[in-house]
Amino acid sequence: MKINWGTGIVIAFALFMTFILYFVFEVQSNSKYDNDLVVEEYYKHDSHFQEEMARIQNAHDLQQKPSIKYAEDGVRITFPATLESDEIKGNVLLYRPSNKKFDFNTQIALANSTLVIPKSKLIKGRWDVNMEWHYKGKNYLSKEVVYVD
């Protein structure tokens, strides 16, 4: 039996469509390919965007900014000595872009103007650190990306 070029094109299209459909169903049904949203309530989060930008600007306008760095003992957040440690309130969100199961919040409790998040709570890789804090009637938001070894 001889197949002409028209039949060959139809067979090629059918095989290609079968492959694409198989790929789509595999990705949708397998939990290994999670496609979660970055933020659960996206539109609610988006409506507060201007407030968030104002808090980021407040943090940017500081003469001495808090530093968020990775050290051997964990993630070290150091506030300037010019700020009164007992007046600083807020929390730190450590967000893991690759898996939301590892995300966690920590309240800011300073010792000598420093907060250390122990290495034992962190796994290797990228962490987005979002620190929302309040000092003397003003709200601040500091964001940093930290890589844990």
- Residue spans per domain, the chain: 1-35, 42-148
Cβ–Cβ < 8 Å for 59, 41? no
pLDDT of 42 reads 67
pLDDT in tens, 29-73: 877 766 665 666 667 767 778 888 999 999 999 888 899 999 888
pLDDT of 101 reads 84
Cβ–Cβ < 8 Å for 131, 54? no
Is pTM beyond 0.75 here? Answer: no
Pick the CATH number of 42-148 from 1.20.120, 2.60.120, 1.10.357, 2.60.40: 2.60.40
